[in-house]
Structure 1
């Protein structure tokens, strides 16, 4: 076990699977005491048990982040209590991804996606960041997406929420950075949990990129460890692309 985050506490939302789980596991492996948060107690306890089995510190706090200020505030309060009174690192990862088009997205879905993907992290940050500042500082990491900046003909609703989170990253950096709270974002590319012998439909989206393949959750977790730790002490308000080059590079065969 390494110690880049030794002595720090962290709250990771949506940490019961995929990217959120990988981030929670990576933080714990680096010495942080992590609150794993999500809707499923069974999956949450599985993550916590795995972390503890490897010698890490973790606890599960169940939360349904529906966009209400109360739900976000309750999570902030309970996570701080479990972590001994403070949250040093917040990862706003929880989100929902409906695969629809502008024509097929109804108003109920629109409201739900914005509630979970934007309102919930907005009010969670509002509850956590001032306490971080009062305690002497901290780090907030938001999850954006490559499709917030590279348009594709589906999921306009989802991509717009991730664009909002990337904008909030810069606004919060200006608001809380001078008070000691660094705010940055990670923009993942096509990321999947590998399944032996299976080809993921997202593979086609990574054709023509330098990586030439989909990414795995640990790639995003490694970036999160960097943004949470001392190595990024001079990094404020960025969106770190961890996308295999998808949004910036086109590989053209000769």
Structure 2
């Protein structure tokens, strides 16, 4: 079946909560061996346990994506677990500090670049060659609707994800001829553990969309699973909005 992942290994960054966790569960449900990754070992084990209890296969690798060598070690360990080839890479992990540009610290600048741009770059550089050698694979990047338009207080976050959207297209051009598909999803306001601190602001932002409400982690995960699957076999370099229609406004 086109949406089955039996015999495939998937690495999902930031998969101990939110969109990443929902994606890991859905991929495992469809037969993938999922490598769960994140900073919190307790939440990582809980995600792996949930997959095992549902009859799926999963392992956890802790990783600090703020550190380039830790990212490379994540790739090395993922390749070791998968027998030398990761079939699906989901670059989901991201940090999203909001606030006025003059208040952005050097530490925030470096952290956002490291996690949102550098880590996906390193993982693709480390994992795509084995996909090419194995004649196929899929990369799905998670961006954001504010990579497509300006919004006050989101210059740092939005620009980092705009960079990831350009990388999506560049990688599609680079690896597509080798049957490695690279695409992205662009979520809008989404209710997750990470956005809980936004309070009513999340609902207010969602009210500007045709859907009029925040999406769920599962909504975004469904789109990621589609792009990773053979059902999207002729989709390269696409950025799929999962934003309640905000792109239409």
Measured against the shorter chain, the TM-score band is over 0.9
Q: 1:205 offset after TM fit, Å?
A: 0.8
Q: 1:83 offset after TM fit, Å?
A: 2.1
Q: 1:199 offset after TM fit, Å?
A: 6.3
Report the Cα distance in structure 2 between the residues aligned to 1:201 and 1:56, rounded to whole angstroms: 37
1:6 corresponds to 2:6:
yes
Q: 1:136 offset after TM fit, Å?
A: 1.3
Q: TM-score, normalised by structure 2?
A: 0.94
Single out whichever of 142-151 and 200-209 deviates more from structure 2. 200-209
Counterpart contact for 2:66–2:114, Cα < 8 Å: yes
Report the Cα distance in structure 2 between the residues aligned to 1:137 and 1:96, rounded to whole angstroms: 30
Q: Which residue of 2 aligns with 1:148?
A: 147
Q: 1:67 offset after TM fit, Å?
A: 4.5
Counterpart contact for 1:187–1:241, Cα < 8 Å: yes
Q: Which residue of 2 aligns with 1:28?
A: 28
Q: Describe how 1:73-112 pairs up with structure 2 within 5 A.
A: 73-112=72-111
Q: Report the 3-state secondary structure (helix = DSSP H, G, I; strand = E; otherwise coil) of the residue aligned with 2:27.
A: helix
Deviations 1:32-61 (A, max 9, x none): 000000111101000000111011111101
Report the Cα distance in structure 2 between the residues aligned to 1:14 and 1:147, rounded to whole angstroms: 20
Counterpart contact for 1:184–1:236, Cα < 8 Å: yes
Compared CA separation, residues 168 and 3, structure 1 to 2 (3 A): closer
Q: Which runs of 5+ in 1 are unaligned?
A: 250-254
Greater helix share, structure number:
2
Report the Cα distance in structure 2 between the residues aligned to 1:122 and 1:3, rounded to whole angstroms: 27
Q: 1:209 offset after TM fit, Å?
A: 2.1
Q: TM-score, normalised by structure 1?
A: 0.92
Runs of 4+ with deviation above 2 angstroms: 198-201
Counterpart contact for 2:3–2:230, Cα < 8 Å: no
Counterpart contact for 1:176–1:182, Cα < 8 Å: yes
Deviations 1:85-115 (A, max 9, x none): 2200000011111122211102221111111
